[in-house]
Structures are given as C-alpha cells and as structure tokens.
Structure 1
Amino acid sequence: MSLAQEVQSRVKDALKSGARDQAASLRVLLSELQRMAKEARRELSQEEEVQVLKREKKKHQEAVEGFKAGGRQQAVEKEEWMIGIIDELLPQQLDEAALAGLIDQVITETGASSPKEMGKVMSALMDRAGTQVDGRLASRLVKERLTA
C-alpha cells in the first residue's frame, strides 16, 4: 500500500469516527501527495512519497516554533499531532548507533579519509539506506568521522 493510499484510508477512518479536524489535516497531506504525483504525471515512488512527507513534517515543525513564540498552545498541539501522524507514516529511521556503524562501514568501503570526500560517503550511504536515514544526522556524523 502506498503512503497516499494509507493517508486516504486514515481520512476515511477519521470521517467515520467523526473527527472532522483530523480528517481535514490529513486531507492537506493527501492533497500534497496527489499534487506532486500530478506534477510528475505518474505515481510517485516510495522514496518520492517519503520526501514529500519529510517536507511536510519540516513545515509543521517550523509552524510549531512560530506558534510557541506566539503563545498559541492549541495550534501547537494540532501541529504536534500532525507531526506524530507523519512520523507514523514515515519508514522507521535508523537510530544514531546503527547509523554510526553503517557510516563507518561506508567510509571503509569508499576509502574516504578527508572532509573533501564527504559527498562520496553521503552518496553511498543514501544509496544503501535511503529513506531510513535522517540526512542532517548522517551529515553531522560523517563530518565528525572524516575530520577526526
């Protein structure tokens, strides 16, 4: 089942249970997935769907920061709920220890030894683990290992 189908199913469930606010929030997510598929003029791959969800999660995280600064607690709770839903839909991310082990393996395989070769390591890492890797965390860990 694609992520778009999963979101569609959750919209239906929310409507059946009478949770109109939740259904509306999920519809926004679904419409973004559908818009991207329409732009691509094909069904999105799993990786592309994950990228859309990650973008949406980032938007909601930025909104949380803004709402906290403005003292709008109810809006913060709604955005955090949406972040939780997106997290449920996203593939399980590697934890820091597992990611560090994988990075060490990739560095050994690529023979990288300086920060100049970070791109080569990141490319190989993303090819191997793809959607299971948080790019920011991976970048930080690779940089630490190549500068050490």
Structure 2
Amino acid sequence: MSLQEQLNTAMKDAMRAKDSLRLNTIRMIRTAIKNREIDERKELDDQGVITVLSTVVKQRRESAQVYRENGRPELAEKEEQELAVVMEFLPSQLSDDELKALIEEAVTEVGAASMKDMGKVMKVVAAKTTGRADGKVVSELVKARLSA
C-alpha cells in the first residue's frame, strides 16, 4: 500500500473515530502533498511523499520550539501532537549509531578531510537519510566527525 493510500485510510479512520486532531493533521499533510504535486505537475511517488513529510516534520519541530521560547506551551503541545501523527507515516528513524556509520561511509566515499568538505558529505548523507533522520541532528554529527 502506497503512503498516499495509507493517508487516505488513516483519514477515513480518523473521521469514523471523530479524532479531530488526527483528521486535521492528515488533511494538512494531504494538502502539502497536493501542493507539491501541483508545483511539480506530476503525481508524487512514495519517496516524494516522504520528502514532503520530512518538510512537515521540520516545520512542526521549529514551530513547537518557537512557541516554547515565547511562553506558549499550549500551542507547542499541539504542534508536538501533530508531529507525532506525521511521524507515524515516515519510515522508522535511524539510531545515532546507524547515522554515524552512514556518515563514516560518506566521509570515505567523498574523501572528506576537513570542514571544507561538509557540503559534499551532507549531500551524500542527506540522500540516504531523507525522512529517517532529523537534518539538524545529521548536520551536528557530520560537523563533529569532520572537526575531530
């Protein structure tokens, strides 16, 4: 079953269960996917949907952080609840050890020796971790590896 079909099924289940948070979050995801399809003038495959979901996850994390910093914990909680719903549709997340192994492979592959090569390493790692790891975490691990 494709991710779009899973989203449709989950939306119908949320309607039946009268779960408004879940329903609204899935509708927001489907809208983001539809907008990307319109922009690209083609139907997205699962990889394209994962890319959109990754963007939504990043937006939710950033929004929750901003709300917390500005003393709005109730809005931050709502963002985090939506984040939990979105995460259900992404592939399982990579552990730190798995990320470090991928980073090592990428460093070897591109022959990175210093921080100057961070862009090259990030390009390789990002392609392998889309939807499976937070880009901020990946970036920090790459920096730590290259500055060592």
Q: Same fold (TM over 0.5)?
A: yes
CA shift, 1:83, in A, is 0.6
2:97 and 2:48 map into 1 onto residues whose CA distance is 26
1:129 and 1:63 map into 2 onto residues whose CA distance is 22
Aligned partner of residue 132 in structure 1, secondary structure: coil
Note the aligned Cα RMSD (angstroms): 2.2
2:73 and 2:138 map into 1 onto residues whose CA distance is 33
TM-score by length of 2: 0.82
What corresponds to 2:35 in structure 1?
A: 35
1:49-68 to 2 correspondence within 5 Å? Answer: 49-68=49-68
AA at the equivalent of 1:115: M
TM-score by length of 1: 0.82
What corresponds to 1:116 in structure 2?
A: 116
AA at the equivalent of 1:47: Q
Aligned residues: 147
CA shift, 1:96, in A, is 1.0
Q: Which runs of 5 or more structure 2 residues have no equivalent in the other structure?
A: none
What corresponds to 1:88 in structure 2?
A: 88
Preserved contact between residue 21 and residue 82 of structure 2 (Cα < 8 Å): no
Aligned partner of residue 23 in structure 1, secondary structure: helix
The structure with higher relative contact order (CA 8 Å, sep 6+) is: 2
What corresponds to 1:145 in structure 2?
A: 145
Preserved contact between residue 4 and residue 34 of structure 1 (Cα < 8 Å): no
Preserved contact between residue 53 and residue 86 of structure 1 (Cα < 8 Å): yes
Q: Which runs of 5 or more structure 1 residues have no equivalent in the other structure?
A: none
For the pair shown, the structure with the greater C-alpha radius of gyration is 1
CA shift, 1:15, in A, is 0.9
